[in-house]
């Protein structure tokens, strides 16, 4: 048995506060064996992952007691205590920081590719496994030197210290209202098919350069950078994935157990847990280019009414809903929502009172949309 609960204290932002991040660590640290890192709630208003990872920890504890874990697994069920402290009259916004310049908690994470290259370039050899070890050693050292002069810096440093040397990084999120979907790097579309299939993922958004510098991109961007310069000598040392566990209110013990079992079976398939996987028909999950995703904007403030349901197919030019401005002239107070893509309506805003210009729905398409700019593919 090698299970322990680790607590990481964040820098104290104000007098009398003391926030911590709790991690469940399974298995033994062994650079010759696989390490997988999972977290939930980086956006502190996205809660399905809390329950899923709680159920997964139960399964992992049983596997640990049976000495079935071959490698290291770190699970952080609640990754953002800063965001969870944003409680305003019972509402927790949790997506943006209120200090340190503000900003989305899942944006602008350190991109360490150039720095790591400058450190290791003179030591790269033809020994591929040795090169992976070299890079991971450099990453651990470099992340340990990152500043933690603020609570937010401490949060980012803590999560990166646990994840930066992992072979796989799986970040759990959700949308307002959505079907099961994921954001996956183009290079890993096939690699993560077994997990996406087990989770009955309906849409996988394939990305290369979102421009967001998100948490999962921070973990993998180093390897992408190095492979551009040393492709034949640097294998992928990390692969990452962002899972969107449907909508904010798609939370139940039954669904959490199903998702946890799917992830557990995937860990068995990756042989980090020495146990046969349960029989499962793995269907290929379709990938949609992120630059072909239509972000439907609100053409007016008002009440949104949708004519299409989550998961339904839509066509370019199709009316998917409308916004009603009840304060306007009744003869001209309705604004249509028109799809710019042929694809699937996979996510939309849960709130029905919308603000002019905000993104209120997402449609996964197959063909690049002219108004979607590579490197600027997310609205915060």
Q: Mean pLDDT of residues grouped by 10 in the chain (380 residues)? A: 91 91 93 93 98 98 96 98 94 92 92 96 95 97 96 97 98 98 96 96 89 91 94 94 97 98 96 84 88 95 98 97 92 94 97 96 92 67
| Per-residue confidence (pLDDT) for residue 66, from 0 to 100 | 96
| Per-residue confidence (pLDDT) for residue 1, from 0 to 100 | 60
| Per-residue confidence (pLDDT) for residue 138, from 0 to 100 | 97
Q: How many helices (H) and strands (E) does the chain have?
A: 8, 18
Task: Choose among 178, 179, 204: nearest CA to 191.
Answer: 204
Domain annotation for the chain: domains and CATH numbers: 4-285 (3.40.630.10), 290-365 (2.40.50.100)
CA angle 272, 156, 55 (to 5 degrees): 40
Paired with 203 in beta bridges are: 181
In angstroms, the CA 128 to CA 105 distance is: 34
Task: Choose among 330, 328, 337: nearest CA to 298.
Answer: 337
| Per-residue confidence (pLDDT) for residue 328, from 0 to 100 | 80
- Whether 5 contacts 22, CB under 8 Å: yes
Strands (E), 49-178: 72-76, 168-175, 177-178
Token pair of 142, please? 């470099």
Instruction: Give the end-to-end CA distance of the chain in Å, rounded to a whole number.
Output: 42
Q: Is 371 helix (H, G, I), strand (E, B) or coil?
A: coil
The DSSP symbol for 284 reads P
**Bridge-based pairing state of the strands 181-185 and 239-247:** antiparallel
| Per-residue confidence (pLDDT) for residue 376, from 0 to 100 | 63
Quote the distance between the C-alpha of residue 227 and its chain's center: 23
Helix (H) or strand (E) holding 241: strand 239-247
In angstroms, the CA 327 to CA 356 distance is: 14
pTM check: above 0.85: yes
């Amino acid at each position: 048995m090698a299970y322990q609960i680790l607590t990481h204290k964040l820098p104290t932002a104000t007098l009398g506060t003391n926030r911590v991040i709790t991690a469940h660590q399974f298995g033994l640290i062994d650079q010759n064996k696989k390490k997988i890192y999972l977290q939930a709630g980086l956006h502190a208003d996205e809660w399905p992952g809390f329950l899923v990872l709680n159920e997964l920890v139960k399964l992992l504890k049983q596997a640990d007691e049976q000495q079935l874990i071959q490698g290291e697994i770190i699970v952080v069920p609640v990754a953002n205590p800063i965001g969870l402290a944003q409680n305003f009259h019972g509402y927790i916004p949790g997506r943006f920081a209120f200090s340190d310049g503000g900003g989305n908690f899942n944006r602008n994470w350190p991109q360490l590719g150039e720095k790591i290259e400058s450190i290791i370039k003179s030591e790269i050899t033809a020994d591929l496994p040795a090169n992976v070890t070299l890079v991971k050693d450099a990453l651990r050292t470099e992340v340990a030197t990152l500043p933690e002069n603020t609570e937010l810096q401490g949060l980012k440093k803590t999560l990166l210290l646990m994840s930066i040397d992992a072979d796989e990084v799986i970040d759990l999120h959700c949308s307002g209202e959505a079907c099961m979907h994921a954001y996956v790097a183009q290079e890993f579309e096939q690699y993560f098919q077994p997990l996406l299939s087990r989770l009955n993922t309906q849409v996988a958004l394939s990305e290369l350069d979102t421009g967001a510098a998100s948490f999962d991109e921070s973990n993998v961007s180093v390897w992408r950078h190095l492979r551009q310069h040393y492709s034949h000598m640097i294998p992928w040392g990390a692969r990452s994935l962002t899972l969107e566990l449907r909508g904010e209110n798609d939370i139940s013990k039954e669904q959490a157990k199903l998702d946890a079992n799917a992830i557990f079976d995937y860990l068995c398939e990756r042989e980090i847990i020495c146990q046969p996987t349960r029989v499962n028909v793995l269907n290929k999950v379709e990938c949609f280019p992120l630059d072909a995703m239509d972000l439907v904007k609100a053409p007016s403030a008002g009440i949104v009414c949708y004519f299409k349901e989550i998961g339904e197919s839509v066509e370019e030019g199709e009316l998917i809903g409308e916004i009603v401005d009840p304060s306007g002239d009744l003869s001209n107070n309705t604004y249509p929502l028109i799809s710019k893509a042929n694809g699937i309506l996979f996510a939309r805003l849960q709130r029905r009172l919308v603000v002019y210009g905000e993104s209120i729905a997402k449609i996964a398409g197959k063909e690049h949309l002219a108004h979607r700019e590579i490197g600027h593919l997310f609205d915060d």
